[in-house]
Amino acid sequence: MHIGELKTIPKRKRKRVGRGPGSGHGKTSSRGHKGQGARSGFKRRAWFEGGQMPLQRRIPKRGFKSLNKKTYQLVNLLSLQRFDDGDTVDPEKLKTVGLIKHAGRPVKILGSGELTKRLSVQADAFSNSAREKIAQLGGEISLRIVSSTVSTDGDS
């Protein structure tokens, strides 16, 4: 095969607007008469549906987002294998190793994977299977207590 034998790929013709009535896109250039849409720089909102009731308003409202929901950073037992036998594992150590992003946010230990080392683990929550596996090896489980910033003066 030579370069001269290659087929030209199909191309879409460019829409030439404002080039007379014979083009079908003359005079107003397919923008209608006057108004904001006829001006340069006008962009419709991405979700605009031409005036019909938009999708986000047609679908019924449902549920709500709880303001008090606690989101945990999840760590599996399998990833705790990298620590040495007898180590104390706390959120600070998990952050330095790169298992979590923020040491100050709540951490939950999940029981996925096998643990073969005796560890002392400190976290905000544990799954039941994680508790059993850590305790089975003689490890320690301690819940981290986060101090609240609310003052308890008694004058309220």
Q: What is the pLDDT of residue 145?
A: 79
Which stretches of the chain drop beneath a pLDDT of 50? 150-151, 156
Check if the beta carbon of residue 121 is closer than 8 Å to that of residue 80: yes
* Closest to 94 (Cα-Cα) out of 113, 80, 106, 81: 80
Report how far residue 75's alpha carbon sits from residue 131's, in angstroms, rounded to the nearest whole number: 13
Rounded to an integer, what distance in angstroms lies between the CA atom of residue 46 and that of residue 35? 19
Handedness of CA 120, 126, 128, 130 (dihedral sign): negative
Domains of the chain (ranges, CATH numbers): 73-143 (3.100.10.10)
* pLDDT given at position 149: 52
Tell me the whole-structure pTM to 2 decimals.
0.59
Q: For the CA atoms of 130, 134, 136, 141, what is the dihedral angle to 10 degrees?
A: -110
Q: How long, in residues, is the chain?
A: 156
